[in-house]
Chain A
Amino acid sequence: MSTQLSITRLTKIFEPGTANQKIALNNFSLEVKKGEFITILGSNGAGKSTLFNGILGKFFPDSGRIILDGEDITYWKDFKRAAKIGCLFQNPMRGTAPNMTIEENLALAYTRNASKSFFAVTRKDSGYFRELLATLDLGLEDRMKTKMGLLSGGQRQAASLLMATIAKPKLLLLDEHTAALDPVTSRKVLEITGKIIEQNQLTALMITHDMNQALAFGSRTIMMDGGTLVLDIHGSERAEMTPRKLVDLYTDQSGQLLSDRTMLSL
């Protein structure tokens, strides 16, 4: 299968030359195949979010290249590459506009590949949004004129997920997108996530601090530490992997213990 995302020797140093200098990404390389769903583990400060922000163009790397579907996007502006990349963060507030209706939020996200109609919400689009919302099974399809800000965190995150994937992105980035939700809602949103990725055969990277989750979703798990890749498991090795074995492997590789948060998810 062809390569969808290729990251080569990406380096990002924050506040270089000061006492606070931090090498957040250190010659990080990763090849992601088309349709691959990778989960990412790593202790706090490992550089996971920085990796995503680099892919999203929130900053330009000090060195290295990012190639998405054959195009070198290393120095593209953030909004320009957003046409091809969907993203979702821990905070449900980040992905939605609270004072606009659910329908308008979806319409805005759909701008990426909607017909260039005059009005933002056409009848045809509206029908499509209703169908999509119905797949969430949260009753949101009957509240399309409700302001996004009135929804619960879980509902907002589920809606954000639709918005991030509505334009069938070439790459979906999920940064602990269920970590702020209660366990039941978190499970529900994860379930929807898996379904959407599978149905649309999306190429996706998901950061999580839950080892069970990391092994249960997708087909490949990588682990980061100190801004580099320290572990990359897939296939039969991954099929036989348990959280406990993963911890041992990590400790061997990086010579240090995982953060408490990750250990607690054992």
Chain B
Amino acid sequence: MHYFEMLLSALGQGAIYAPMALGVFIAFRILNTPDLTIDGSFVFGMTVCAMVTVAGHPVLAILAGTAAGMLAGLVTGILQTSLQINAILSGILTMTGLYTVNYMVLGGQANLYLQQMQINESGVEVPVASQTIYKMMAAVAGNGEVSSLILSGLIVVIVSVLLSLFFKTRPGIAIRATGDNEEMVRSSSINADRSRTLGIMLANSLVGLSGAMLCQQQRYADLGCGNGMLVVGLASVIIGQALFGRRGVTLGVVSAVIGSVLYRMILQGAYQIDMPSYTVKLLSALIVTVALVMPLTKEKMNTMRIRRAGEKEAYK
């Protein structure tokens, strides 16, 4: 039972962060661009979602959060293409600027609970939890983690299917080719700057969606929620890749989603051996580092093996 709950929790968390992992996949793997906007666009999606949610529009709030992420991507895209600013710096600039924007969206505070003031029967004003898509789902499918998981899972499945299809359309292959060989895209008479900007917008809209989903699921928005999000996304993508390899784009989408769930399972495992929750960031950084170093290590070991065999041969 205990393990079943752990699994449920990992699946639920994994699903909420899956769109973010997909965003990282698009930026880093498909566009081949190190996009550091992600930490900022995640929180932007969250804060915008929070404001629209407390205004009483839960579904619109999720879409607004997604649009917010897209807007952040547009800014980074313009910095990168029209203004020719280095890709990493473009992301850092947007992310840094977004900190102020997010603070302002929340009305000058660092966090916000999703609640509204309402007058109850006895005429007293009391805070009432705002309606969220998760509460709406609970009303249909019953309370608890299973119902949230079903909803998040459904969103992720729909997003993944749409994304896989999109990458087979004309603008979709233009984005893929821009990451693969930009010169070839230009010489095919396609505006590569526009394709790149569209790709970054798409990536960050998914990141914003993740932020929005997390906001409604945890029922608050917090400016700190985006810290280290990029590394979490990278870890998910890399874990997924370790399992599925780097093949077609559809498989890449699937492996980013599964990677997101596996990442949460690894965290669950870490909590099991009583690692305090603040170690999560270090653990994520380690996972990414190990995964990145793996190919190099393999190669080094291979050359060492060849050398040893060669020396043995020479001195026998």
A residues whose Cβ falls under 8 Å from a Cβ of B: 56, 78-80, 82-83, 86-87, 93-100, 104-105, 107-109, 111-112, 116-121, 163-164, 167
A/B interface sample: 18 pairs, CB < 8 A? A79-B186, A82-B187, A86-B187, A87-B187, A94-B181, A95-B184, A98-B180, A99-B176, A108-B177, A111-B174, A112-B188, A119-B168, A119-B170, A120-B168, A120-B172, A120-B173, A164-B187, A167-B189
Contact A100 B170 (CB under 8 A): no
Query: Contacts A94-B181, A97-B181 given; 10 further ones with Cβ under 8 A?
Result: A78-B186, A78-B187, A79-B192, A87-B187, A104-B173, A104-B177, A107-B170, A112-B188, A120-B168, A120-B170
Contact residues in B for A164 (Cβ distance below 8 Å): 187
Which of B168, B183, B188, B191 meets A108, CB within 8 Å? B188
The 9 closest A-B pairs by CB, nearest first: A97-B180, A83-B189, A82-B189, A97-B181, A120-B173, A97-B177, A79-B186, A112-B189, A99-B180
CA A93 to CA B183, docked complex, whole Å: 10
Contact residues in B for A120 (Cβ distance below 8 Å): 168-170, 172-173
Interface residues of B in 175-207 (CB under 8 A from A): 176-177, 180-181, 183-192
Distance (Å) between the CB of B195 and the closest chain A CB? 10
Distance (Å) between the CB of B249 and the closest chain A CB? 9
The interface residues of chain B, by DSSP majority, are classed as helix
Contact residues in A for B192 (Cβ distance below 8 Å): 79
A118: nearest chain-B partner, CB-CB = B169
Chain B contact patch, size range:
20 to 34
Q: Among B168, B177, B185, which residue has the most Cβ atoms of chain A within 10 A? A: B177
CA A97 to CA B177, docked complex, whole Å: 6
Contact residues in B for A107 (Cβ distance below 8 Å): 170, 173
Distance (Å) between the CB of A57 and the closest chain B CB? 9
Contact residues in A for B191 (Cβ distance below 8 Å): 79
Contact A100 B189 (CB under 8 A): no
CA A79 to CA B184, docked complex, whole Å: 10
Contact residues in A for B189 (Cβ distance below 8 Å): 79-80, 82-83, 111-112, 167
Contact A96 B188 (CB under 8 A): no
Contact B186 A82 (CB under 8 A): yes
Contact A111 B190 (CB under 8 A): yes
A94: nearest chain-B partner, CB-CB = B183
CA A13 to CA B17, docked complex, whole Å: 53
Contact residues in B for A78 (Cβ distance below 8 Å): 186-187
CA A82 to CA B183, docked complex, whole Å: 11
Which of B168, B184, B190 meets A96, CB within 8 Å? B184
B247: nearest chain-A partner, CB-CB = A147
Distance (Å) between the CB of B173 and the closest chain A CB? 4
CA A116 to CA B171, docked complex, whole Å: 11
Which of A80, A98, A121, A167 meets B181, CB within 8 Å? A98
Contact B168 A82 (CB under 8 A): no
B246: nearest chain-A partner, CB-CB = A99
B176: nearest chain-A partner, CB-CB = A100
Contact residues in B for A104 (Cβ distance below 8 Å): 173, 176-177
Distance (Å) between the CB of B161 and the closest chain A CB? 14
Contact residues in B for A116 (Cβ distance below 8 Å): 170
Contact B169 A95 (CB under 8 A): no
CA A82 to CA B192, docked complex, whole Å: 12
Contact residues in A for B183 (Cβ distance below 8 Å): 94
Q: Among B169, B173, B183, B191, which residue has the most Cβ atoms of chain A within 10 A? A: B173
The contact string, 1 if C-beta is below 8 Å from chain A, for chain B 193-234, is 000000000000000000000000000000000000000000
CA A105 to CA B192, docked complex, whole Å: 15
Which of B170, B172, B176, B190 meets A79, CB within 8 Å? B190
B194: nearest chain-A partner, CB-CB = A79
Contact residues in B for A93 (Cβ distance below 8 Å): 181
CA A47 to CA B188, docked complex, whole Å: 24
Distance (Å) between the CB of B199 and the closest chain A CB? 14
Contact residues in A for B186 (Cβ distance below 8 Å): 78-79, 82
Contact residues in A for B184 (Cβ distance below 8 Å): 94-97, 108
CA A116 to CA B170, docked complex, whole Å: 8
A145: nearest chain-B partner, CB-CB = B248
Distance (Å) between the CB of A35 and the closest chain B CB? 22
Interface residues of B in 144-180 (CB under 8 A from A): 168-170, 172-174, 176-177, 180
A87: nearest chain-B partner, CB-CB = B187
Contact B168 A121 (CB under 8 A): yes
CA A132 to CA B187, docked complex, whole Å: 20
Contact residues in B for A108 (Cβ distance below 8 Å): 173-174, 177, 184-185, 188, 190
